Chains A and B, each alone.
Chain A
């Protein structure tokens, strides 16, 4: 039995609703609804490897600023976002921190670091 899954392409303001047909082994059989080739590329990525940058804040110690903004240095699988956020909710940092400093190395074994988005002084 072939399965169908729909995606909204974010390639342009049109936002085509693209329907993907997938066979029982998960192989892509076809695309429908995309008004240009970009849509196929986007949906292929979203189906095989949907990734996002995780952004959050972490608590600080010894700083007048209660929070520090952080991000993953590269996108991670979107299914990991909630777990990643939970790790960051337990993370604390102390000044000084500079933009780009590693806050959590290798987040949840993704191979991606969480880095500071901002500076932190005491």
Chain B
């Protein structure tokens, strides 16, 4: 395959990139490549040795490596060409890609379409602003996960975890089973940041204390962490005087959220949504640059890998279609606007002509709600939480109700009345 002939170039070979590349081939694109800076396909799935993957996609309870393996095999079977140990360093608004690797040095080419599948990274300590010295023993939950599950050593023996994201809770269980003592999981919000099944199966199962509405106010230690001070916080998230307590520990793990990795997108002039941190897309997952698509955690942080795969397949299929036909038909002209208790909606715009799945998250937990998509449809839901993504199917039939002139549809989540 010559670089000049590439139909679809996928950037990133995690679950999103693999799903996009496979689907692009299946949808008829001839020359599909997947560019990955690591030495193998699969992305972070290799270090996620826990189960809970694929419950929706495969109807099976798989571990991360197993889930990844099924896609790796399919990448090979479908004839996608992986370009490993290759780092994409440049993307321009006319779809020029610049990349470097040890064999060829700097390469540059212009594929017919591009899928962004760079995933996300963890919010680090700098982004969290904890006072105290800078001893060793402070690391993100994902880094700890790589140490324990890939490299084979424990980051510490007595651990405090700040933030109750899924990786943090999963690492609490993993470290406990590996013989460390997890002294506390500390969450600033009044509810956990991850999935409820992880609270039960990772914390409760092992009697790991969870401190809600608490935060770490100080890190102690010179060379190495020796303790942290935690305190209760008020409604404005300020520490409440007199509630401090010191917890002896040798490590502090940070599990306080993920950020889509969009440096390349910014370089190309792709418009980002300030709330999701990912590109603004329509229902084909096309960005504001024609022929550039995005899917998975680079677009918005998902709760389940199954949704990452599905969304990226959509991006891959659209990319293949664009590569072959140079046109995707109706563009997204209707803006979906977040109303009451909706934090964001992806896609941000729709054409109103195709069946569409809307992914959204709420701001606050709420029970017994009705989610309204303008006056097109409503869906009643028993409970919503910021940590759990909501998925709503919008059929093109329902969308026929939308007037041709419509420029905006408000999506809102409201308490069900009359009760």
Measured CB to CB, the residues of A under 8 A from B are 8, 10, 12-15, 35-36, 52-57, 59, 66-67, 69-71, 78, 81-82, 85, 89, 99, 117-119
Chain A residues in 8 Å Cβ range of B66: 71, 99, 117-118
B50 CB-CB contact with A under 8 Å: yes
From known contacts A8-B196, A52-B205, A117-B49, infer whether A13 and B63 are also in contact, taking CB-CB under 8 Å: no
- Kindly specify which of B219-227, B328-336, B379-387 makes contact with the partner chain: B379-387
How far apart sit A71 and B52, CA to CA, in the bound complex (Å)? Answer: 12
From known contacts A13-B384, A69-B63, infer whether A8 and B200 are also in contact, taking CB-CB under 8 Å: yes
Chain A residues in 8 Å Cβ range of B46: 69, 118
How far apart sit A66 and B151, CA to CA, in the bound complex (Å)? Answer: 6
Chain A's closest residue to B52 (CB) is: A53
Q: Is B196 a contact of A55 with CB atoms below 8 Å?
A: no
- Please name the 4 residue pairs, one residue from A and one from B, whose CB atoms are nearest each other, closest first: A14-B383, A118-B65, A69-B49, A85-B177
Q: Is B150 a contact of A81 with CB atoms below 8 Å?
A: no
Chain A residues in 8 Å Cβ range of B205: 52, 78, 81
Minimum CB–CB distance for B398 against chain A, Å: 25
B30 CB-CB contact with A under 8 Å: no
Q: Is B49 a contact of A35 with CB atoms below 8 Å?
A: no
B234 CB-CB contact with A under 8 Å: no
From known contacts A69-B149, A99-B66, A118-B69, infer whether A15 and B196 are also in contact, taking CB-CB under 8 Å: yes
User: Given B50, B200, B382, which contacts A12 in the complex, CB threshold below 8 Å?
Assistant: B382
**28 sampled A-B residue pairs with Cβ under 8 A:** A8-B199, A10-B197, A10-B201, A13-B382, A13-B385, A13-B387, A15-B199, A15-B383, A36-B382, A53-B51, A54-B177, A55-B49, A55-B63, A59-B152, A66-B152, A67-B149, A67-B151, A69-B46, A69-B64, A71-B49, A78-B205, A85-B178, A89-B179, A99-B69, A117-B63, A117-B64, A118-B65, A118-B66
Q: Is A89 a contact of B178 with CB atoms below 8 Å?
A: yes
How far apart sit A59 and B178, CA to CA, in the bound complex (Å)? Answer: 13
Chain A residues in 8 Å Cβ range of B197: 10
Chain B's closest residue to A72 (CB) is: B51
Chain A's closest residue to B362 (CB) is: A13
How far apart sit A69 and B46, CA to CA, in the bound complex (Å)? Answer: 8
User: Given A8, A14, A57, A119, which contacts B149 in the complex, CB threshold below 8 Å?
Assistant: A57
Q: Is B384 a contact of A56 with CB atoms below 8 Å?
A: no
Q: Is A13 a contact of B49 with CB atoms below 8 Å?
A: no
User: Given B63, B64, B177, which contacts A82 in the complex, CB threshold below 8 Å?
Assistant: B177
Most buried by A among B49, B149, B387: B49
Chain B residues in 8 Å Cβ range of A8: 196, 199-200, 204
Chain A residues in 8 Å Cβ range of B201: 10, 52
How would residues 150 to 190 of chain B score, 1 for a CB under 8 Å from any chain A CB and 0 otherwise? Answer: 11100000000000000000000000011100000000000
Chain A's closest residue to B196 (CB) is: A15
Chain B residues in 8 Å Cβ range of A118: 46, 65-66, 69
Q: Is A71 a contact of B63 with CB atoms below 8 Å?
A: yes
How far apart sit A117 and B63, CA to CA, in the bound complex (Å)? Answer: 7
B367 CB-CB contact with A under 8 Å: yes
Chain A's closest residue to B191 (CB) is: A15
Chain A residues in 8 Å Cβ range of B199: 8, 15
Quick one: which of B38-55 are within 8 Å of A by CB?
Answer: 46, 49-51
Q: Is B152 a contact of A57 with CB atoms below 8 Å?
A: yes
B61 CB-CB contact with A under 8 Å: yes
B122 CB-CB contact with A under 8 Å: no
Q: Is B177 a contact of A71 with CB atoms below 8 Å?
A: no
Chain B residues in 8 Å Cβ range of A53: 51, 61
Q: Is A35 a contact of B51 with CB atoms below 8 Å?
A: no
Chain B residues in 8 Å Cβ range of A85: 177-178
Chain A's closest residue to B179 (CB) is: A89
Minimum CB–CB distance for B208 against chain A, Å: 13
Chain B's closest residue to A52 (CB) is: B201
How far apart sit A14 and B49, CA to CA, in the bound complex (Å)? Answer: 27
Chain A residues in 8 Å Cβ range of B383: 12-15
Chain B residues in 8 Å Cβ range of A89: 178-179
Chain B residues in 8 Å Cβ range of A59: 152
Minimum CB–CB distance for A18 against chain B, Å: 12
Q: Is B204 a contact of A119 with CB atoms below 8 Å?
A: no
Chain B residues in 8 Å Cβ range of A12: 382-383
